Amino acid sequence: MLSPGIWGDRRVMRIGLLGGSFNPAHLGHLHLSHTAKRYLSLDQVWWLVTPQNPLKKFMDVPSTSERIRRASNLYLPPWIHLTDLELNYKTQYTSATLNKLIVRYPKTSFIWLMGADNLLQISMWVNWTTIFDKVRIAVFDRGAYRYKSLFSKASIKYKKNRVSISRPAYIWYRSTPSWIFFPSKRVDLSSSQIRSLNT
């Protein structure tokens, strides 16, 4: 069972949420998590291994438990937690999962972590604006998606809510909607690329 960690009296716990199919999990996910922890002062990063991505309904994917098992072979640091929360919560959409998490962990500040490719398509997600309203968002550079994502529907809508990369941790002192873009050194891998190499 997932341990939410020890809050104590020092402050609210900060947790990064990285959702996806993780089919398979790879070093790009790990690099993103390390970058987020370092620059956003996170206590933990939770990998939310989704049962089925609604935008990839016709993909044949291994079971959630199998993908979690494979991800554990990456020898993750103790602050990264592999979870099947969406399977347990029976939620299909990110907005619904966040609603459950906020109620379940009221003493936690969550930030949604995603690649620039997801910023480009997030406007197609169900109740996507509520995601910006519910939690802070950190977006990480992904090669060819960088410039397109920064001119996406979501980027334009929330242009005034973007936090400067010069002070990334400042995002915790801003109310939602607040988001930040990391044009950092990156590992340009994707799960689909890895699958193609294994076929």
Question: Do the domain assignments include residue 48?
Answer: yes
Question: Do the domain assignments include residue 76?
Answer: yes
Nearest to residue 119, comparing CAs of 94, 90, 163, 154?
Answer: 154
Overall domain count for the chain: 1
C-alpha angle 37-93-67 in degrees, rounded to nearest 5 = 60
Host domain of residue 75: 13-197
In angstroms and rounded to an integer, the radius of gyration of the C-alpha atoms of the chain is 16
pLDDT at 33 over 50: yes
pLDDT at 75 over 90: no
**CATH classification of the domain holding 177:** 3.40.50.620
Question: Do the domain assignments include residue 5?
Answer: no
Q: What is the pLDDT of residue 146?
A: 83
pLDDT at 190 over 70: no
- Average the pLDDT over 127-147 and give the result: 92
Percent of the chain with pLDDT over 90: 65
Give pLDDT tens digits for 156-166.
999 999 999 99
Q: Following CA atoms 169, 173, 175, 181 in sequence, which dihedral angle do they give, to the nearest 10 degrees? A: -20
Give pLDDT tens digits for 98-112.
999 999 999 999 999
C-alpha angle 93-41-166 in degrees, rounded to nearest 5 = 100
Question: Do the domain assignments include residue 128?
Answer: yes
- Average the pLDDT over 113-138 and give the result: 96
Cα distances (Å, whole numbers) of residue 176 to 16, 20, 35, 43, 70? 15, 23, 21, 20, 35
**Range of lowest pLDDT (3-7, 78-82, 94-98, 164-168):** 3-7
Question: Do the domain assignments include residue 125?
Answer: yes
Q: What is the pLDDT of residue 11?
A: 73
